[in-house]
Structure 1
Amino acid sequence: MPRRTATMLAASMIAVALLCAGILIPVKYAEMSPGPTVNTLGEAGGEPVLRISGRKTYPASGNLNMTTVRVTGADYRMNLVEAMYGWLAHDNVVVPHDTLYPDGQTEEQSTQENAEEFSQSQESAKVAALKELKIEVGSRVVVATVVKGTPAEGKLHAGDVIKAVDGRPVEEPADVAKLVTRNKPGEDTVFTVVPAKEAAEAEKAGREPDVTERITITTAKAEGKPDRAVVGIQAGTDHTFPFTIDINLADVGGPSAGLMFALGIVDKLTPGDMTGGKFVAGTGTIDDDGRVGPIGGIAMKLVGARSAGAEYFLTPADNCEAAAADIPDGLTLVKVDTIADATKSLAKIKSGDTAGLPSCAKG
Structure 2
Amino acid sequence: MNTDKEKIILEVENLKKYYPIRKKAFGKTEEYVKSVDGISFSVKENTILGVVGESGCGKSTMGKAILNLIEPTDGRVIYNGKIIYSNDKKECISKSEMTKLRGEMQMIFQDPYASLDPRKSIESIVSEGIKKHRNLTKDEIREKAAEILELCGMDRACMVRYPHEFSGGQRQRIGIARSLAINPKFVVCDEPTAALDVSIQSQILNLMLDLKEKMGLTYIFISHNFNVVKSFCDEIAVMYLGKIVEYGPAEKIYKNPKHPYTQALISSVPRNSPDEKKERIRLTGSIPSAVEIPAGCRFSTRCPYVSDICRQKEPEGMNLDNDRTVYCHLYK
The reply to whether TM is greater than 0.5 is no
1 or 2 for the larger relative contact order (CA 8 Å, sep ≥6)? 1
**TM-score after normalising by structure 1:** 0.28
Between structure 1 and structure 2, the one with the greater Rg is: 1
**TM-score after normalising by structure 2:** 0.30
